[in-house]
Amino acid sequence: MSEAKLYVPGVGAKTPPRTYNQVHHARKFTAGRRRVSIYVCWSFPGEANRDIRELDNRFSTMTEVRRVDWPFWETPEWSDPNMFQQGIAGALELFFRAWVPFQELVFDVTGHVVPVFQRVDQAGFRLPLDERVLEDTDTLFVFGLDHLLTEQEASADEIDAVRRWLEREGTCLVIGPHHDVGVSLDMKERQMEYAHHGDALVPRQQRFSKYTRSLMAGLGVPVENRYGLRPGVISGTSKIAPLTVNRDLDTRRWLEGVTNFSFHKHLPHYAVTDEKAGVKVLGTQPIDLSRPHPFIEAGNREFNSFVWMPPGGKRAGEILLADSTVFSTLFGADDSLKRFWKNLATAS
C-alpha cells in the first residue's frame, strides 16, 4: 500500500486556460463510456457568508487554515490576497481544486469531461437536481457538504426526478453525506468528540448534509450519517489502516484492487437503520481506539465507510454511499484510492 500524499493542483505557466461563466453542454452517449457528474448540494453564498464570529457550524476561513497548517499554505499562491481568497470562500475553493485530479482521472478513462454543478453557485445561480443535471449523466456524485442550518433540502420534484433517473438501466448514484459532529447537548461529550478527531479546524458542533438526508429519505435509502470518527493507522506510520472489505458481498467488484481510502480525521459512520432493506455494507474502517469517543464506548471498533444498495423493484440503478473526501486529494490520494475512482468510473 503506497503512502497517500496531499496534493492540491496549483497554477503554473503550463496550466490549461480556465473558463468561467459558461453553461453546460450535454455529453453524447457513448457505449461503454460512463458520463460522470458531480452535484455539490450546498449554497456557496450560504456557506461563504457565515458570520466568522460564530464558533460552530461553519467552514474555516483560509486564514484559519493557514494558521493551523502553517507553513504549508504560506506560498503567495495561497497566502497573497491578490491571488487567493482569504475568507471562507477561499477554503471552499480548496475543495474544487482538490477534486480536479478525480475529474482528470475520470476523463482519462471515459473520454467525457466531469462537470461540477452546485445547488447555488458563487454567482447566485440556483440549480435544483433535475433533468438538466441528470439527462446526460450515467454516474452522479452528490456531495453533502451543506451545513444543516443553511436549510438545503431535496424537494418532491427533485426526488421524483432522481427516482425516474434511477429507473434507467446503467445509472449509479453515489451519495456522500458528510460528518455529523457535536449532536449531543452535553458539552463534555462534544469535547470528547473534538479531542477524538483532533482537527483544530472543525468546531465542537458541525452538522452536515440535510440535502442528502432528505434525498435518501425520499428514495427509501435507510442510512444515516453519524459522528466524525478518526480512522486508525498502521502501527508506527501515518498511513490509514486498511479497510475491512466484505468481498463475498461485493459482487459488483466496486472494491476490487482497493485496500484503503484516504486518511481524514473525521469521517461519518453510515448507520444502516433497516436491516431488511437490502443494504450491503461493503467496507468498514478501523477506528483510532487511542482517543475516546462515545461510539467506541458503545463497543464499536470500526465504522461503515462504504455502503451499496443494489437495484430493486423499479429501480434499475445502483446506489452507493461514500464520503466526498474519498474523491478529493486534499486528504491524500494513493494508488488504492485511484483504483477505487477507476472502478466507479468504468463500472459496466
- Does the pLDDT at position 2 exceed 70? no
pLDDT digits (tens, 9 = 90+) for 298-333: 999 999 999 999 999 999 999 999 999 999 999 889
- Does the pLDDT at position 8 exceed 90? no
Mean pLDDT of 145-174: 98
What pLDDT score does 318 carry? 98
- Does the pLDDT at position 161 exceed 50? yes
> Which residue in this structure is represented by grid cell 452536515?
208
- pLDDT grade for 20, boundaries at 50, 70 and 90: confident
- pLDDT grade for 19, boundaries at 50, 70 and 90: confident
Round to the nearest angstrom and report the end-to-end CA distance of the chain: 26
- pLDDT grade for 12, boundaries at 50, 70 and 90: low
E strands present in the chain: 36-43, 116-120, 139-144, 172-177, 180-181, 206-207, 223-229, 244-245, 267-272, 280-286, 302-309, 318-321
- pLDDT grade for 13, boundaries at 50, 70 and 90: low
- Does the pLDDT at position 244 exceed 70? yes
- Does the pLDDT at position 240 exceed 70? yes
Instruction: Return the closest-CA partner of residue 273 out of 220, 233, 314, 322.
Output: 220
Which residue(s) pair with 140 in the sheet? 37, 173
The secondary structure of residue 316, as a DSSP letter, is -
Above pLDDT 70, what percent of the chain? 97
Query: Can you state the percent helix, strand and coil of the chain, rounding each to 5?
Result: 30, 20, 50
- pLDDT grade for 334, boundaries at 50, 70 and 90: very high
- pLDDT grade for 3, boundaries at 50, 70 and 90: very low
**How much is the mean pLDDT over the chain?**
95
Peptide bond into 231 cis (omega under 30): no
What pLDDT score does 241 carry? 97
pLDDT digits (tens, 9 = 90+) for 83-128: 999 999 999 999 999 999 999 999 999 999 999 999 999 999 999 9
Is 3.40.50.12640 the CATH classification of the domain at 36-46+99-345? no
- Does the pLDDT at position 16 exceed 90? no
- Does the pLDDT at position 4 exceed 70? no
Distance CA 127, CA 43 (A): 10
Answering whether pTM is above 0.85, one says: yes
Alpha carbon separation from 186 to 30, 44, 193 (Å, rounded): 54, 31, 11
